[in-house]
Amino acid sequence: MSDPAADGIPCLWMRGGTSKGAYFLKDDLPADPAARDGLLLAIMGSPDPRQIDGIGGADPLCSKVAVLSGSSRAGADVDYLFLQVFVDQPLVSDAQGCGNILAAVGPAAIERGLVAARDGETEVRIHMVNTGEVAVARVATPGGRVSYRGGAAIDGVPGTAAPVALMFQGLAGSMCGAMLPTGRAVDVIDGVACTLIDMGMPCVVMAAADFGLTGAEGREEIEAMAAVCARVEAIRLQAGPMMNLGEVAEKSVPKMVLVSAPAEGGAVRTRSFIPRRVHASVGVFAAVSVASACLLPGSPAAEVAVVPEDGRFRVEHPTGAAEVYLEVRDGQVAGAGTIRTARKLMDGRVFPRG
């Protein structure tokens, strides 16, 4: 019988967009979810704020896992299950997807032989198991091999790399059943106007001004504001059941997004709680959800947004801006897309705490 602590487990450690995570083949992990989650906590070194005895990066954005397998549904090439491994709690959650980690799923699926590469560019249709939708990724594969080199830059990541184009459809209500799970563009919770929205990621969108913020504050600065963080969390705990997410005290959704007028020529400025740490940039699906909220008249996002006519929303965040494209038909968001980059950082075996 194999002993993971002694023999190790095949693992790709990759950057996807502005996140980093461990990519595994489903067959290399225990089939039982509880055993799998226990193993992943031991691999990442959780719970521990420093994750010193594991490979996690001591930040929710670097404590992520992608589990890959051949697709279980027609019209897709590969199944991708996203798991958030909490840093300082013994929790692993499948209650959200991740569009940044998604950026490296196409390359990882080709690296692991789940998808055959073509010469030039390879389209990988990815079944996002957490939410049920299919994303289409276009991966650079000159000579039939994944290439990570290229000229695409994304804010929050130094340098350039090969672009990974991602296209989505059918994101409305990915986890909440409807884009607006309460049927309203604005709900008031604890006296704060909130848009409870799910366009690929359950988000609560609120005006930064309602928390006494300009919206320009940095990640550490906001995290140090205990009273603001407590108010945001109190609203989150009430919003979760209203969004059909049940009790969310131990879940990583909904994300809490504070919006303000754009300051750098974008559509809207964001500071997002994921849900307790403040994001260093912005989640891909969170950006799609906020951009969609900008189209809802009278909502906190619409009040401050400069809506682009061409559907290309630059969503400003603490380290720059992320561009998401919304295809709007008859006032509804019919599709969305973005460009990310990804890179293989390490391919080997990982040894969990025994």
Residues at the interface with ligand NQM (CB under 6 A): 18-19, 60-61, 98-100, 201, 252, 255, 274, 283-286
CA distance 23 to 239: 32
If the CB atoms of residues 4 and 275 are measured against ligand NQM, the closer one turns out to be 275
Q: What are phi and psi of 116, to 5 degrees?
A: -80, 135
Find the residue with minimal CB distance to ligand NQM: 283
If the CB atoms of residues 41 and 61 are measured against ligand NQM, the closer one turns out to be 61
For the chain, what's the residue count?
Answer: 354
CA distance 139 to 14: 15
In eight-state DSSP terms, residue 20 is E
Cβ 82 to ligand NQM shortest distance, Å:
9
339, HSE (Cβ side, Cα atoms, 13 Å): 16
If the CB atoms of residues 117 and 280 are measured against ligand NQM, the closer one turns out to be 280
If the CB atoms of residues 4 and 21 are measured against ligand NQM, the closer one turns out to be 21
Helix, strand or coil, per DSSP, at residue 25? strand
CA distance 286 to 50: 26
Cβ 201 to ligand NQM shortest distance, Å:
4
If the CB atoms of residues 168 and 211 are measured against ligand NQM, the closer one turns out to be 168
Cβ 176 to ligand NQM shortest distance, Å:
14
Cβ 51 to ligand NQM shortest distance, Å:
16
- The answer to whether residues 206 and 235 touch, using CB atoms and an 8 Å cutoff, is yes
Cβ 254 to ligand NQM shortest distance, Å:
10
Helix, strand or coil, per DSSP, at residue 237? helix
